[in-house]
Amino acid sequence: MNRIVLRDLAIAVTVDADDTVLRDVSIAIEDGVITEIGAVAETDGDTVVDGRARLALPGLVNLHTHLSMTLLRGIAEGVDLQQFLTRVWAAEGAVMDPATVELGATLGALESLLGGCTTQLDMYFHHEAAHRGAVAAGSRHVGGPTFFDGPGPDGLAWEERMAGLRAWPEVLRAIGGPEVPVAAMPHSTYTCSVEHLTEVASILKEIAPAGVLHTHVSENAAENADTRARFDATPTELLANAGALEGPAHVVFGHGVHLTETDRDLAAAAGVTVAHCPGSNLKLASGALDWKRWRAHGIPLGIGTDGCASSNDLDMWQAMRQAAHLAALTSGDPAIDAEQIVRAATIDGAHALGLDDLIGSLEVGKRADIVLLDLDQPHLTPVHDVPALLVHAAGRGDVTDVLVDGRIVVSEHRSTQVDTRDLLDRSRTRARDAAAAAALAVQEA
């Protein structure tokens, strides 16, 4: 039996149904499962982590990202979404082969884990390579086949994509890693026809009734205008027409900034979760999601970073803070409950993926995806309001230790799973090799 005790924690933020915050408490973990929260007397022979001056909370859930784009950080600056896509797709087609995707996913997963993000909903092509790379770093990685009507950056025909979807559950089991749902990821309604969206949703429902369908929706106003001009419908209406909101058990919209009132009605009725990505939305001038209005409409919200080509990093703490500030700005109400933001980044994200019975809160019987923060810092002293501390003061540099599925994957700021120096060296070399090809591809695009 593998037993770990997080002993004498200063604070434990459980994110349970009552948002309970515990003080001076220990957490025991056996074979990946939280077995005790409270006074834990028996520690002989256990792996013991000193929790003094440490705050424990559930691992953060990044509900929309593209991990492998860490290698494309900074290649499309100072442009809007449409120009961004033109540049990035050209670069991806030129350089992002399976080996590069795997390398980028490992680098992205490492960045995420060092910052306390244990689960990522990661949309990227060469999905098998991306999953292998993220799992190697220790992440709970939710990935799956991506879909485009045309060949896309990976050059696959539609039939090959569908074959990849049918094979994905078995391939997922073979690669291994922490438990995750089967996911299918049509890129968007402007890259996938209604007929193809219907096919993806239908096959996903057949092979994985508890699966996740994830797609970009209404990221900026130009996307909505283009979709209306072409189809006389919004992206959400197209998804509804395709049956993509009814079949899959879990549907996650990436961005969802410009949902109309009708869109919000459709999304709320279908139980869709919107992955709010404030960093990339601000940087690309895509717009500001109205947090309070979306919530009032009954739409659950999670938080995402988007990929490093658009947001430039995978910092969930910054995304949480941006989400809180934007919520206050768009509503004109500074009284935004920080607990909502914390829940969006943990249990609500887990619920969106159908994983809330396993992760997202610190409760006996759940898998141990846990993050420890060092409270012995000037900017985290004193602690008057714990949720506000997490949202408005804490940062990824405060993360000391991270557990995923009961395994310590970060210890005292360092990965226990990968050779960080080797990974950084290989990433820099590949990025230098890719830069010339990417620049040429961008010029020709």
For 173-208, the pLDDT digits (tens) are 999 999 999 999 999 999 999 999 999 999 999 999
As given in the structure block, the two tokens for residue 235 are 């992206």
On the 0-12 / 13-18 / 19+ scale of CB atoms within 10 A, 109 is buried
What local confidence, expressed as pLDDT, does residue 84 receive? 73
The reported pLDDT for the residue numbered 441 is: 61
| Contact by Cβ (8 Å): 161, 155 | no
CA–centroid distance for 354 within its chain: 14
The structural domains of the chain, ordered by start, are 3-58+360-412 (2.30.40.10), 60-352 (3.20.20.140)
Instruction: Tell me the C-alpha to C-alpha distance, in Å, between residue 363 and each of 57, 127, 193, 292, 349.
Output: 11, 32, 43, 28, 16
pLDDT value for 179: 98
Looking at residue 88, its pLDDT comes to 75
Query: pLDDT value at position 310?
Result: 82
pLDDT at 325: 96
370, 25 in Cβ contact below 8 A? no
What pLDDT is attached to residue 78? 79
pLDDT in the model for residue 202: 96
- pLDDT score of 61: 99
Q: What is the DSSP letter of 437?
A: H
- pLDDT by position in tens, the chain (length 445): 689 999 999 999 999 999 999 999 999 999 999 999 998 877 766 899 999 999 999 999 999 999 999 988 877 777 787 777 777 777 777 788 999 999 999 999 999 999 999 999 999 999 999 999 999 999 999 999 999 998 888 889 999 999 999 999 999 999 999 999 999 999 999 999 999 999 999 999 999 999 999 999 999 999 999 999 999 999 999 999 999 998 789 999 999 999 999 999 999 999 999 999 999 999 999 999 999 999 999 999 999 999 988 889 999 999 999 999 999 999 998 878 899 999 999 999 999 999 999 999 999 999 999 999 999 999 999 999 999 999 999 999 999 999 999 999 999 999 999 999 999 999 998 877 766 666 666 666 5
So what's the pLDDT on residue 72?
A: 85
Q: What is the pTM of this model?
A: 0.96
Q: How far apart (Å, rounded) are the C-alpha atoms in residues 108 and 112?
A: 6
**Contact, 189 vs 201, CB < 8 A?**
no
Render pLDDT for 115-143 as a digit per residue (tens, 0 to 9). Answer: 999 999 999 999 999 999 999 999 999 99
300: cis peptide before it, omega within 30°? no
Per-residue pLDDT at 336: 82
The torsion angles phi and psi of 414, rounded to 5 degrees, stand at -125, 140
Three-state secondary-structure class, residue 56: strand
The whole-angstrom separation of Cα 346 and Cα 361 is 7
Cα torsion at 384, 390, 394, 400 (round to 10°)? 110
pLDDT value of position 308: 87
